[in-house]
Structure 1
Amino acid sequence: MPSEFSGKHVTVAGLGVSGVPAAKVLHGLGAHVTVVNDGADERARTQAAELEALGVTVRLGDGTASDSGSAAGLPEGTELIVTAPGWKPTKPLFTAAEQAGVPVWGDVELAWRLRGHGGRKAAPWLAVTGTNGKTTTVQMLASILAAAGLRTAAVGNIGVSLLDAVTGDTEYDVLAVELSSYQLHWAPSLRAHSAVVLNLAADHLDWHGSMEAYAADKGRVYEGNQVACVYNAADRATEDLVRAADVEEGCRAVGFTLGTPGPSQLGVVEGLLVDRAFVEDRHKNAQELAEVSDVNPPAPHNIANALAAAALARAYGVPAAAVRDGLRAFTPDAHRIAHVADVDGVAYVDDSKATNTHAAEASLAAYEPIVWIAGGLAKGATFDELVAGAAKRLRGAVLIGADRALIREALARHAPEVPVVDLDRTDTGAMPQAVREARRLAEPGDTVLLAPACASMDMFTNYNKRGDAFAEAVRELGA
C-alpha cells in the first residue's frame, strides 16, 4: 500500500544512531533517499555501505553539510529533510531548506508521524526532558508502567530508536520517551499524552545560541499535552514553561517537590512518596505511593526523579501499588551515583555521569562529608556557585583534567580552608593517583565522590570509561 513518502525525495542529514534507521524506514516506505554526512571515517563508510546495498544514495563529506563549506545547496529535488538531532540549526543546509520552503524534521518528528502506520497501535507517549536526570526518570517510568502490566519500553534519546519502536513488530500500550533539547527542536508536531521538564540549567548553549532558546526548545515537550504537564516546584523556570504552553482543554499542571506536597502535587511526607494530584478531593486527601527507601539510590535528586516518573505514570492511570513495585524493581545505570565499595570505613561513589555543574550540585548535596574528585572539560562552565554551595560539605578535593584550574580557583575563593590536591596530568593514569590521594584525605564516615562537573573527553573516551577507571582504582585499594 503506497505511503505518503512513496516517490518523495528525502534528504537524511547525518548517519549515526538516528540517521541510519531513518534512511532505512524512509526507503522501505518508497522514498528516494539521499544521505549526506559531514565525516567519512571508518564507521561512516561501513554505515554508508550498508545503506547503499539497499539502494540508498550516500554522500560522505558532503559540502552541503559543512558549517564553513561554500556549497550550501540542497541535494537536487529534495522535498523533505530528516536530520540527526545533533546537527545545528545554523547549518547551511537548513538555511537553504528554509529559503526553498523545504520542511526539516528530526527522527522524533518522523517517528511521531509514523505512529499507527500499517495498522499498528498508535501508543501514547509519556515524555521526559530536562538538563539532568532524563535517562534515570525514563527508566523508572518504564519500570512502573511494566509493574502495572503494560507493554512499554524506554525509548528516544536513551539509545533505543523511536523509529524502531513505532515501526517494529511489537505493539506497545504506552511509551516512556526521553527527549533531548536537540530532538525537541526538530519535532514541531509532537503532542504527548503527558510530559515533564525535570529541571533547567545552562547547557548546550553553543548549539541553541542562548539560554532562552534552549529553554524554549525544552518547553516544546508541553505543547499539546492531553492530561498533565509535570513540573519541578523547586525550579520556577519549568513552571513558567507550563504556563506558556498551549495544551488541550482539561490538561493539568502537576508539580513535584521534595517537601510536603500541596494540592495537585506529588511530594514527600515522613519518608513516604505521596500523591495529592491524582486522587479524589486532592485538597483533603493524599495517596501513599512508596517509601523513600524504595528509591535506588535515595539521594535527593533521585527522589525527585522518582516523583516525576510517578506523576507521569499516575497521569496515565497507573495504580499506586505499581509505582511502589516499579521503583523497587528499578536498577540504575552504571556511573550514576553508584556505590562502588567501602574501604576502611570510607564510601566510594561513582557519579561520572555528572558532566556539568547542575548534575554535580545534585550529587554533592547527597553526601557529607565529601572528598571530591572533579575536573575535565568545563565546556565554558563556571564553578563559583557550585563550590560556594558545597563548601561546608567538603573534607578535601582532588582535581584532574584539562580545566581543573577553574575549579581550583573557585575553591580558593569560596572554600579556602579545604585541602586541594591538583594533579597536573590529563592521562588516564591520573585516576588511580586521584583515588589514592582521596583516600589520604578521607576519614572514616566520609564519602569519596567522583562528580567531575565536567565532560570526560580530555582524558577518556566517554564518562563510562572515566567511571570504570574510578571503580577499578577503588577495587585496587581494597585488594
Structure 2
Amino acid sequence: MPSEFTGKHVTVAGLGVSGVPAAKVLHGLGARVTVVNDGDDERARTQAAELEALGVTVRLGDGDTLPEGTELIVTAPGWKPTKPLFTAAGQAGVPVWGDVELAWRLRGLDGRKAAPWLAVTGTNGKTTTVQMLASILKAAGLRTAAVGNIGVSLLDAVTGEEEYDVLAVELSSYQLHWAPSLRAHSAAVLNLAPDHLDWHGSMEAYAADKGRIYEGNRVACVYNVADKATEDLVRAADVEEGCRAIGFTLGTPGPSQLGVVEGLLVDRAFVEDRQKNAQELAEVSDVNPPAPHNIANALAAAGLARAFGVSAAAVRDGLRAFTPDAHRIAHVADVDGVAYVDDSKATNTHATEASLAAYESIVWIAGGLAKGATFDELVTGAAKRLRGAVLIGADRALIREALARHAPEVPVVDLDRTDTGAMLQAVQEARRLARPGDTVLLAPACASMDMFTNYNQRGDAFAQAVRELGA
C-alpha cells in the first residue's frame, strides 16, 4: 500500500540501535533511503552490508554531507544539532526528525488503533519510573510495554505485530529535541539537573527540550513539587483544554497531588472532591527499594497510571510486582552488621545526591570520570551522613578536594590506582571504616569508563568484592 514515504528520498543519520530499524522501516514503506554514518569500523560495515542487501544506500565515514535530493532526515538521537549535516538541512529547508518522531507519525499506519503514550523524562529515574508504570498497567490487565530510551525500540513497538492498549515511554532530552509533533496522553518530568550541557549548549536549552514532553498533553502533566523547574515547564506548555497539572511530593499532598501520609502513598488528584478526600494507593513498603527518590518515582508512575484510569488496587499490585534493574540501589549483602549497597547507576551528582539521602550513616565509595561535574554541593548536603569515603578512578581528586573543603572531619582513603582490581581494595577499605549499622554505598557520581566497560561491570565488581568479604 502506498504511503507518504513512497518514493521519498530520506536520509537516515547514524547506524546503531535507532538508525538500522529506521532505515528498514522506511525502506519497507517505499522510501529511497540513504544512510550516512560518521564511523567506518567493523560493526558499521556489518550493519551497512545488511542494509545494502535490502537496497538501502549506505555512506560510511561521512556523516556531515547532506546527500543530494534529500527530502527528510531521520536522525539518531545523539547527533548534535550543531552538526554540519543539520546546518545544511536547515539551509535547504529539509525537516529533521528523530526515530521517536518517526514512530509517533507511524502509529496506526496499518489501520490498527494507535496506542496512547504515557511518557516520562527527567535527569534521573526515568527507566525505573517507566518500568514501574508498565508493571502497574499490566496489573490493570492492559496490554503494554516499556519502550523508548529504555532499550526497546519505539519503532518496533508501533510497527510490530503485537497490539497494545497503551505504551509506557521513556524519552531522553535528545529524543525530545527531535520530536516536534509528539503529543502524549499524559507525561511526567521527574526532575531537572545539569546534564548533557555540551550537547544542548545551555541549561535553558536542556530544560526546554525536556519540557517538550508536555506539549499537547491531553489529560495530565505530572511534575515534581520539590523541583520547581518541572512545574515551570508545565506552566509554559501548550496543552489541550482540560489537561491538568498533577504534582507528586514526598510530603502530605494537597489537592491535585499524590504524596505520602503515615507510610501510605495517597492520591488527592484522581478522586471525587479532592479538596476533602484522598485515596490510598499502596504502602511505602510496597516500593522496592523504599528509598526516598524511589518513592518519588513510584508516585510519578502512579500519577500517570491514574491519569489513564487505572485503579488504586492495580497501582498497589504493580508496585509490589516490580523488581528494579541491577545496580540501582541494589542491596548486595550484610556483612558483620554492615549493609553493602550497589548504586553504580548513579553516574552523576544528582543521582548520587538521591542515593546518599537514603541512608543515615554511610561509607561512600565514589569516583571515576567526572564529565565536568563539581562536587561541593553534593558533599555539603551529605557531610553529616558520611562515616568515611573511599575514592577511586581518574577524577577522584575533585571529590577529595570537595570533602576537604566541606567535610574535613570525614576520613578519606584515596586509592591511587585505576585498574579493575581497585574495587576489591575499595571494598576492603570501606569495611575497615564501617561500623555495625552503617551502609557501604557504591554511588560513584561519575562515569565508569576510566576503569570499567560500563556501570554494570563496575557494579558487578563491587558485588563480587562484597561476596569475597563474606566468604
Is the shorter-chain TM-score for this pair beyond 0.5, marking a shared fold?
yes
For 2:405 and 2:65, locate their aligned partners in 1 and report how far apart those are by CA, in whole Å. 51
Give how far 1:291 is off: 0.2
**1:391 counterpart = 2:379:** no
- What CA deviation, in whole Å up to 9, does each residue of 1:215-255 have, x standing for no partner? 00000000000000000000000000000000000000000
**1:85 counterpart = 2:77:** yes
- What CA deviation, in whole Å up to 9, does each residue of 1:380-413 have, x standing for no partner? 1000000000000000000001100000000000
For 2:44 and 2:426, locate their aligned partners in 1 and report how far apart those are by CA, in whole Å. 36
For 1:157 and 1:379, locate their aligned partners in 2 and report how far apart those are by CA, in whole Å. 21
- What CA deviation, in whole Å up to 9, does each residue of 1:435-479 have, x standing for no partner? 111011111110000000001111111111110111111111111
For 1:174 and 1:287, locate their aligned partners in 2 and report how far apart those are by CA, in whole Å. 24
- 2:389 alignment partner, SS class: strand
42-51 vs 217-226, which deviates more?
Answer: 42-51
Partner of residue 462, structure 1 = 454
- How does the TM-score come out when normalised to structure 2? 0.99
- What CA deviation, in whole Å up to 9, does each residue of 1:15-71 have, x standing for no partner? 111001000000000011111111112211111111111111111111xxxxxxxx9
For 1:135 and 1:377, locate their aligned partners in 2 and report how far apart those are by CA, in whole Å. 22
Partner of residue 274, structure 2 = 282
For 2:461 and 2:49, locate their aligned partners in 1 and report how far apart those are by CA, in whole Å. 35
- What CA deviation, in whole Å up to 9, does each residue of 1:344-396 have, x standing for no partner? 11100000000000000000000121000000011110000000000000000
For 1:44 and 1:150, locate their aligned partners in 2 and report how far apart those are by CA, in whole Å. 38
Partner of residue 124, structure 2 = 132
Give how far 1:119 is off: 1.1
Q: How many residues align?
A: 471
Give how far 1:120 is off: 1.8
48-57 vs 388-397, which deviates more?
Answer: 48-57
- What CA deviation, in whole Å up to 9, does each residue of 1:134-185 have, x standing for no partner? 0000000000000000000000000000000000001100000000000000
For 2:440 and 2:340, locate their aligned partners in 1 and report how far apart those are by CA, in whole Å. 5
Give how far 1:73 is off: 3.6
- 1:34 alignment partner, SS class: strand
In the alignment, which of 356, 363, 378 is matched to residue 370 of structure 2? 378
For 1:73 and 1:169, locate their aligned partners in 2 and report how far apart those are by CA, in whole Å. 36
- What CA deviation, in whole Å up to 9, does each residue of 1:299-334 have, x standing for no partner? 000000000000000000000000000000000000
Give how far 1:426 is off: 1.1
- What CA deviation, in whole Å up to 9, does each residue of 1:107-149 have, x standing for no partner? 0000000000111220000000000000000000000000000
For 1:53 and 1:332, locate their aligned partners in 2 and report how far apart those are by CA, in whole Å. 40
- Which structure 2 residue ranges, 5 or more long, are not aligned? none
**1:254 counterpart = 2:246:** yes
For 2:215 and 2:402, locate their aligned partners in 1 and report how far apart those are by CA, in whole Å. 40
For 2:43 and 2:426, locate their aligned partners in 1 and report how far apart those are by CA, in whole Å. 34
Runs of 4+ aligned structure 1 residues displaced above 2 Å come to none
42-51 vs 203-212, which deviates more?
Answer: 42-51
Partner of residue 222, structure 2 = 230
Give how far 1:72 is off: 4.6
Partner of residue 60, structure 2 = 60
For 2:55 and 2:67, locate their aligned partners in 1 and report how far apart those are by CA, in whole Å. 17
For 1:73 and 1:51, locate their aligned partners in 2 and report how far apart those are by CA, in whole Å. 20
- 2:444 alignment partner, SS class: coil
For 2:147 and 2:440, locate their aligned partners in 1 and report how far apart those are by CA, in whole Å. 33
Give how far 1:264 is off: 0.2
- What CA deviation, in whole Å up to 9, does each residue of 1:405-427 have, x standing for no partner? 00000000000000000001111
Partner of residue 49, structure 1 = 49
Partner of residue 67, structure 1 = none
- Sequence identity percentage: 93
For 2:141 and 2:65, locate their aligned partners in 1 and report how far apart those are by CA, in whole Å. 50
- Which structure 1 residue ranges, 5 or more long, are not aligned? 63-70
- 2:110 alignment partner, SS class: helix
For 2:65 and 2:381, locate their aligned partners in 1 and report how far apart those are by CA, in whole Å. 50
- 1:119 alignment partner, SS class: coil
RMSD: 0.7
For 1:477 and 1:56, locate their aligned partners in 2 and report how far apart those are by CA, in whole Å. 54
For 2:470 and 2:337, locate their aligned partners in 1 and report how far apart those are by CA, in whole Å. 11
**1:23 counterpart = 2:23:** yes
- 1:144 alignment partner, SS class: helix
For 1:363 and 1:98, locate their aligned partners in 2 and report how far apart those are by CA, in whole Å. 42
**1:436 counterpart = 2:428:** yes
- How does the TM-score come out when normalised to structure 1? 0.98
For 2:2 and 2:356, locate their aligned partners in 1 and report how far apart those are by CA, in whole Å. 55
Partner of residue 188, structure 1 = 180
44-53 vs 342-351, which deviates more?
Answer: 44-53
- 1:55 alignment partner, SS class: coil
